[in-house]
Chain A
Amino acid sequence: MKFLCVECDRQMLFEERQLPGDGTLAAAFRCPQCGRAVGLLTNPMETQLVASLGVKIGGTTIEPQPLETVRGMVTTGRDDAFEDGNGETGKGKGPPPAWSLEAQERLARVPNFVRGMVKKIYADYARERGIGEITPAVMDSARSELGLEGM
């Protein structure tokens, strides 16, 4: 999918993505010539289709996790299906980030099937950005930037 600024006859460039709610995925594109921006809004089914491809509009700086799509999407997985171990994270520099109490409570609500992977993704995200403590606000930023809908 591409966007053409018809008046300028120029291909529009991806600007940013957002998850404004209701299962909507929003992606903004801007014309490099006239500066006009347009927003692509997908309905929940279309959002799901994009997620099903295992891609993130705008890309991501985090390496894909093993079975990332399966673990993020399957709802009937066993709680004890995975043994996540061998260090929380291998990305970024510095010590592993701390987790605020609120962030820990929120993480505890994530199903076991995917929790270990989600924890690692948030930790990698924080480390790469030099964030010392993971809070709900950091989790929200990561969800939006990394396209972790539903995690």
Chain B
Amino acid sequence: MPLNIRTYHELTEPDRSGLPSQITAQRRRVAARLGGVGRVVAVMSGKGGVGKSFATAGLGQALARAGRPAGVLDADFNGPTIPALLHIPVARCTVHGDAIEPALSPEGVRCFSMALLLQDGRPLGFRGPEAESHVWRETLEAATLREFLADVAWGTLDRLLVDLPPGIQRFQELVDLLPAPPAVLTVTIPTAESRDAVRRAMQFARERGAELLGVVENMVEGPFTGDAGEALAREFAIPLVARVPFNPDLRIWDQLAQRMMSSS
């Protein structure tokens, strides 16, 4: 006679393990910390080497110059570059009560990054069994993202820019953690190869309910040829918000900031 096994969801008594309530509390902590943030904007491309961090830093600085409080969360834990791009020296992070103070750029951009925590030249290493580390490492990186969102004193911001690493995994983690999907600013270079990779990421973001704010085409008028920026903007019916040459001047970022500020 087969055993009477019920499903997980049919067992509804509190089991005292406290796990569901802890997960709920983690999400509440994220929401509470971001309560003063006007909008979370994920800067993504789905492709490496297109200048996401460069564009994120430029936009953050321009927002600050325009008097709009901005923060940058460097979500590329294995290749963090935002503090260097924002000209933030590595210094001690101050713990105040239940939060860590973000670092400040000369323009006043609030920033937090793994680069502020790691030893020079050392890769991000986690304590744990090496065997099958792929099982837990991504989970730890998702927990890191959660703590960067929930445990940094972001305060009142007009925009919190999240600089994502290549690929779509970190974006999915961000969607899972936030109360609502973030808006997305996409960065590409002009080539057809970039267009094809970035298209997949944009589709992924849209399918998860994210609003696509626009496309930044980076490294134009250089060695790369193509019309990826225009093509993606046309295909997704969103604006091409900036075409950024090599060695751009500040006006490019100021114009981009104006366009971003006009988005709700």
Chain A residues with CB under 8 Å of chain B are 1-4, 6, 9-15, 23, 27, 29, 44-45, 48-49, 51-60, 63-70, 72-78, 80-86, 90, 113, 116-117, 150
Given A4-B11, A27-B17, A49-B135, do A116 and B95 touch, yes or no (CB 8 Å)? yes
- Contact A66 B151, beta carbon cutoff 8 Å: yes
The complex places the Cα of A90 from the Cα of B17 at a distance, in Å, of: 26
- Shortest CB distance A48–B (Å): 4
- Cβ-neighbour of B129 out of A44, A68, A116 (below 8 A): A44
- Chain A residues with CB under 8 A of B117: 70, 74, 77-78, 81, 113
A75 to B126, CA, bound (A): 5
Contact A2 B8 (CB under 8 A): yes
B67 to chain A, nearest CB (A): 29
B151 pairs with A67, CB closer than 8 A: yes
Interface: B143 (CB within 8 A): yes
Given contacts A11-B13, A83-B95, contact A76 B122 (CB under 8 A): yes
Decide yes or no whether B237 CB sits under 8 A from chain A. no
The 4 A-B pairs of least Cβ separation, nearest first, read: A59-B18, A52-B139, A14-B16, A66-B151
Q: How far is the CA of A14 from the CA of B80 in the complex (A)?
A: 41
B23 touches A75 (CB 8 A): no
- Residues A76 and B15 in contact, CB atoms below 8 Å apart: no
* A27→B245 CA distance, assembly (Å): 58
Residues of B contacting A11 in the complex (Cβ-Cβ under 8 angstroms): 11-13, 15
| B→A interface (CB under 8 Å) | 3-6, 8, 11-13, 15-19, 21-23, 26, 29, 90, 92-100, 116-119, 122-129, 131-132, 135-136, 139-140, 143-144, 146-148, 151-152
Does A6 contact B92, Cβ atoms closer than 8 Å?
no
Selected A-B contacts with CB under 8 Å, 18 pairs: A4-B5, A11-B11, A11-B13, A14-B15, A44-B128, A45-B128, A45-B131, A49-B139, A63-B98, A66-B152, A76-B118, A76-B122, A81-B93, A82-B95, A83-B92, A83-B94, A90-B97, A150-B127
Give Cα A67 to B116, complex, Å.
13
Considering only CB atoms, which chain B residue lies closest to A29 in the complex? B15
Least Cβ–Cβ distance between A105 and chain B, in angstroms: 21
| Minimum distance in angstroms from B155 CB to a CB of chain A | 14
Query: Would you give the shortest CB distance from B4 to chain A, in whole angstroms?
Result: 6
Chain B residues with CB below 8 A from A64, complex form: 29
Whether A55 pairs with B128 at a CB distance below 8 angstroms is no
B9 nearest CB across to chain A (Å): 10
Determine whether the beta carbon of A70 is less than 8 Å from that of B147.
yes
Q: Within the assembled complex, what's the spacing in Å between the Cα atoms of A82 and B17?
A: 32
**Residues in B whose Cβ lies below 8 Å from that of A83:** 92-95
| B219 CB, nearest partner CB in chain A, Å | 32
Is B100 a contact of A67 with CB atoms below 8 Å? yes
Q: Residue among A55, A90, A117 with the most chain B CB within 10 A? A: A55
Separation of A53 and B141 alpha carbons in the complex (Å): 10
Residues of B within 8 A of A60 (CB): 18
> Could you tell me the distance in whole angstroms from the C-beta of A21 to the nearest C-beta in chain B?
14
Give the CA-CA distance A29 to B11 in the complex, in Å: 14
| Contacting pair B118 A78 (CB below 8 A) | yes
**Smallest CB-CB separation from B138: which chain A residue?**
A52
**Interface contact B18-A58, CB-CB below 8 Å:** yes
Report chain A residues within 8 Å CB of B100: 66-67, 82
B90, B125, B147 — which one has the most chain A CB atoms within 10 A of its CB? Answer: B147
